[in-house]
Structure 1
Amino acid sequence: MKAPRITEAATRLADQARDAGWTHEDYLAAVLEREVSARNSSGARLRIRAAGFPAPKTLEDFDFDAQPTIRQQVAALASGGFLTEARNVVLLGPPGTGKTHLATALGVAAARHGHRVLFATATDWVTRLTDAHRAGKLPQELTRLRRYGLIIVDEVGYLPFEQDAANLFFQLVSSRYEHASLVLTSNLPFSGWGGVFGDQAVAAAMIDRIVHHADVLTLKGASYRLRGRGIDSLPSIRTTAGENES
């Protein structure tokens, strides 16, 4: 049966079953439950390892005291309900406010709920799609990626895209629209995405698909990396934060 945990648990649970007066059905259910639990745990570890996270992060490690306004929203998202509804999550805010941490933590939670996850920066996603396009395999790649319950796109807006790259990214978003979820992070408000993608029309169409079924969370404040260093802000934070609050 390829169920090694049954061998490990059978004797121990048999003693417990006799002492507690379990029925044979109760004993069998308890033994099988140990096997199922162990397999789920092992599968989650494999999914987390295969996701490509830059570093393991969990919601328990996140400093919600610095971002109290999003605590309840994140707690609701951690249940994984947005994945079954093919909803998206967008995390906006200045650098260093925890967007990548939250995106990773939601990805880890999704993997633990049984979903396949892939993580990469926006630039890396464009590179991957460009390679597939040049090989004449873009449709197959988009179809394959749609089998993942969650794709995480980190750092949208840190680097501008050429027109061809913007079109490829749009195809990724379109292919997942109402089929599977995206989590995106950006240091820019949506009003600044036109400059990133070099085309206001493409940016507007992309944002329309992303936010139609989405939870948009705005993180505020200075970078946690600067805490205790006597630096209040980075040059890029004041403008970005102001735009996010407008």
Structure 2
Amino acid sequence: MTTATTVPTGRTGDGMPAMISYLTRVLKTPTIGAFWEELAAQARQENWSHEEYLAALLQRQVADRESKGTVMRIRTAHFPTVTTLEDFNLDHLPSLRRDVLAHLATSTYIAKAENVVLFGPSGVGKTNLAIGLGVKATQAGYSVLFDTASNWITRLGDAHHAGRLEAELKKIRRYKLIIIDEVGYIPFDQDAANLFFQLIASRYEQGSVMVTSNLPFGRWGETFSDDVVAAAMIDRLVHRAEVLTLAGDSYRTRQRRELLAKDSRPNHN
């Protein structure tokens, strides 16, 4: 037996706004409730068809919902700062292939559980580039989680000591993309290396990993105190991955040079 929902009735004057207000609350479409009158006036003025008016309303609702979803995904990603690819200055990175970056910006690699590795010396913008790609992923509807390599190890170590490592890895697998920043800056002992390997292994062909590192793969054995573990980790990372090496001036070094050059200019005042 089905029951019909009773809605307010009335003439198009006073009754229709009350009916639409009620229906948009029931359907949880507040944007339609807020903009239907404005768009109706525009539709009458521009002689829209019923279908065009409906499409415009639905587009406004979907755009608003997607925008709020993106804001929430950016918030839960825990980026240290929010920078976009559009903010990133590519002029100092002539070695970075623009076609590869454009492909990564589409975030289609995430649906395939593929990985991204960004190599380069300190200061070339690896972290900002990773954040920019992470923001693109959130805009495409993917859940993202960002942290430094040392913080990932701390998180996994705490879970391991509490006897809930598997539960923590399962929780992390819910994120479609995880970003591991600054691999190689701090060396890890063998226990930490094993935890890191479990993180990478748990993502293998299940979810995407993005890694930034100042060290080439050949030196990861130094960071993880174990060449065998490092090799096994690298094997899983690069099986289906885009590996980019960034070469160029350090942001900080360049900014320092520009400041020094500015300060050395003669003052004609």
TM over 0.5: yes
Summarize the alignment of residues 31-42 of structure 1 with structure 2, pairs less than 5 Å apart: 31-42=57-68
User: 35, 51, 55: which one pairs with 1:9?
Assistant: 35
Percent identity (aligned): 57
CA distance in 2 between counterparts of 1:218 and 1:227 reads 19
Pair 230,26 (structure 1): closer, same or farther in 2 beyond 3 Å: closer
Deviation at 1:61, TM superposition (A): 1.0
**Which structure ranks higher in relative contact order (CA pairs < 8 Å, sequence separation ≥ 6)?**
1
| Aligned-pair Cα RMSD in Å | 1.3
CA distance in 2 between counterparts of 1:222 and 1:32 reads 47
User: 66, 74, 78: which one pairs with 1:52?
Assistant: 78
Whichever of the two has the greater Rg, that structure is 2
Give a deviation string over 1:6-48, Cα, whole Å, max 9, x none.
1221011111222232222321221111011001001101110
CA distance in 1 between counterparts of 2:99 and 2:223 reads 31
CA distance in 1 between counterparts of 2:120 and 2:184 reads 11
CA distance in 2 between counterparts of 1:134 and 1:9 reads 53
CA distance in 1 between counterparts of 2:114 and 2:74 reads 21
Count of aligned pairs: 231
Give a deviation string over 1:71-118, Cα, whole Å, max 9, x none.
221111000111111110000000000100000001111011111111
Asked if the contact 1:126/1:165 (under 8 Å) is kept, the reply is yes
Q: Could you tell me which residue of structure 2 aligns to residue 207 of structure 1? A: 234
Structure 2 gaps, min length 5? 1-26, 259-269
Asked if the contact 2:180/2:209 (under 8 Å) is kept, the reply is yes
Q: Could you tell me which residue of structure 2 aligns to residue 84 of structure 1? A: 111
Asked if the contact 1:94/1:222 (under 8 Å) is kept, the reply is no
CA distance in 2 between counterparts of 1:174 and 1:204 reads 12
Q: Could you tell me which residue of structure 1 aligns to residue 140 of structure 2? A: 113
Q: Which amino acid aligns with 1:216?
A: V
Deviation at 1:230, TM superposition (A): 4.5
CA distance in 2 between counterparts of 1:32 and 1:210 reads 41
- TM-score of the two chains, using structure 2 as the length reference: 0.83
Give a deviation string over 1:175-194, Cα, whole Å, max 9, x none.
00111101100000000000
Asked if the contact 1:126/1:169 (under 8 Å) is kept, the reply is yes
- TM-score of the two chains, using structure 1 as the length reference: 0.91
